[in-house]
């Protein structure tokens, strides 16, 4: 089984999709990583701010970072670096990981629709664990009950 490792720059949380001002690229990338995982690829994500030991334990990552911190994020497949300095699209991930995209799958990542919802207090949830296809009338309830939002209850 293939293993994809993502070495992210320091972020507030493991995915970077928290808070009120979330980079839409990070939200899309989180959805794409879920899609990759759903295709049988093991995905490990390391945040420099939370897991510096994972960076230090990988000589290839250290070498890239010596060239500049702007080399992050770094993605490696089975220990071989495949991209640096950017989050690849779903199509690029599929190509690098040899995942065949079927006609029923969309490169536009419909999962992203589940990542953005505004609750009644004006906070934005970009959590990839938000219940898929939540009817709009239940969005407020789902957000308040969601573990990421325990402080809202």
Q: In the chain, which residues have pLDDT < 50?
A: 107-126, 128-153
Q: What is the pLDDT of residue 16?
A: 66
Residue 32 contacts residue 105 (beta carbons within 8 Å): no
Q: What is the pLDDT of residue 150?
A: 43
What is the CB neighbour count within 10 angstroms for residue 112?
A: 18
Q: What is the pLDDT of residue 90?
A: 93
Predicted model pTM: 0.67
Number of separate domains in the chain = 1
CATH number for the domain spanning 77: value is: 3.40.30.10
24: containing domain: 3-152
Q: What is the pLDDT of residue 77?
A: 97
């Amino acid at each position: 089984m293939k293993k994809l490792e993502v070495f992210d720059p320091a972020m507030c949380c493991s995915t970077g999709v928290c808070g009120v001002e979330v980079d839409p690229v990070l939200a899309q990338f989180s959805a794409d990583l879920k899609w990759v995982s759903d295709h049988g690829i093991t995905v490990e994500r390391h945040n420099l701010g939370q897991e510096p030991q994972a960076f230090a334990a990988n000589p290839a990552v250290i070498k890239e970072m010596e060239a500049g911190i702007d080399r992050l994020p770094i993605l490696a497949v089975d220990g071989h670096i495949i991209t640096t300095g950017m989050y690849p699209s779903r199509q690029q991930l599929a190509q690098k990981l040899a995942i065949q995209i079927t006609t029923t799958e969309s490169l536009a990542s419909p999962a992203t629709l589940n990542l953005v919802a505004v609750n009644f207090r004006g906070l934005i949830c970009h959590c990839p664990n938000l219940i898929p296809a939540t009817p709009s009338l239940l969005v407020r309830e789902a957000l308040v009950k969601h573990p990421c939002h325990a402080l809202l209850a």
